[in-house]
Amino acid sequence: MERNITIIDIATMCGVSVKTVSRVLNGSSQVKAETKEKILKMMREKGYRANILAQGLRNKKTNIIVVFVDKHKNKYWGMWHTKLMASLFVEAKQHGQKIIITPSSATGHIDDETDGFHLLANKMADGAILLDNTNNDVRLQFLNRQKIPYVLVGQTDDPAVTWVDADNYNIGKLGCSHLIQKGYRKICFLLGQKQFNVNTLRASGFEEIAKQNKIDYKIVYDVDSMSAVHDTVIRVRKEFEFNALFISGSERTIGAYRALNEMNQKIPDDVSVLGIDDLSICKYLYPSMSVIDQHCDVFAKNIIDKLAKIINGTCDMEEKTTFIPSTIVQREST
């Protein structure tokens, strides 16, 4: 059986020291350009692959980040997650980092050898990013206890936690205000599971503006899929004759479009629809859908930059919390 090519083999073939090859692998600027190219060319020709874990043990850094996504009762992967992850991949690459994605639960992390927590506890990853937080999130407790660098994508009152988030309270206010300004005064707001802080914050902001303007409104939780939105719109319409729908999670609005069509309700003449997240599908729905854009690219840059600073020990108190501004994208549905 042919043995794997080692760093010593590459050094011998190129007529350089093992230290020089190691510097090339670690991205050092101390190696001449022609020497670096010679070494990289030899690695490609011989099929050399660096042992990332061995490098991590030597350098005390693996350049691996674990991203935890809450399972949401096994409905955890939505289009917003896909869009954010795409931006995270781009930003991580700029920092020379690799990303591993793992499902988890805010109420009880998976404690087995295939889980990302195992990688972190055993120094096989440098830090973590957590999505979809709840109050008393056990994942934060684990990371704090293990002194593992992490950034939370979600707002929390804990002063020890570094986090990045949209101002979800303001998103609720922004959406309600936009619909009222467009002349709609009977608004139904559909959100996901109540246990997640993002949903309760959005509902609170929405309710503040609704009460200030003395409009009729209804807030419905646990509407966390296209089918749930479809069924909820039909059910709620029988008891509350709304003329605007505000929906947390733009991909779910497809269920509302279907339900309104089945009830012969035209958008926006009979019922207006406003979503949250500017996904690519939004402009191609008919009529095109107005949304609140959370700016995933800005999100990702802030997350990766903060985590890199925490790992390197350069993150100060002023940088621990960041709100990403959200904006209305006006289209045909409102």
pLDDT tens-digit map of 32-73: 989 988 988 888 888 777 665 555 555 567 888 999 887 655
Return the DSSP state at 240. -
Q: Give pLDDT tens digits for 299-328.
A: 999 999 999 999 888 777 667 889 999 999
What percent of the chain stands above pLDDT 90?
53
The letter for the amino acid at 160 is A
Contact status, residue 234 vs residue 263, Cβ threshold 8 Å: yes
Q: Give pLDDT tens digits for 75-112.
A: 556 788 889 999 999 999 888 888 988 877 666 655 54
Note the pLDDT of residue 115: 65
Tokens of 14: 């190129």
Quick check: bond before 287 cis, omega within 30?
yes
Is a pLDDT exceeding 50 seen at residue 16? yes
Note the pLDDT of residue 113: 46
Which positions ≥6 away from 273 have C-beta within 8 Å?
Answer: 244, 245, 247, 253, 256, 257, 260, 267, 289, 290, 333, 334
Residue with tokens 């692998």: 25
Q: Which position has the higher pLDDT, 124 or 185?
A: 185
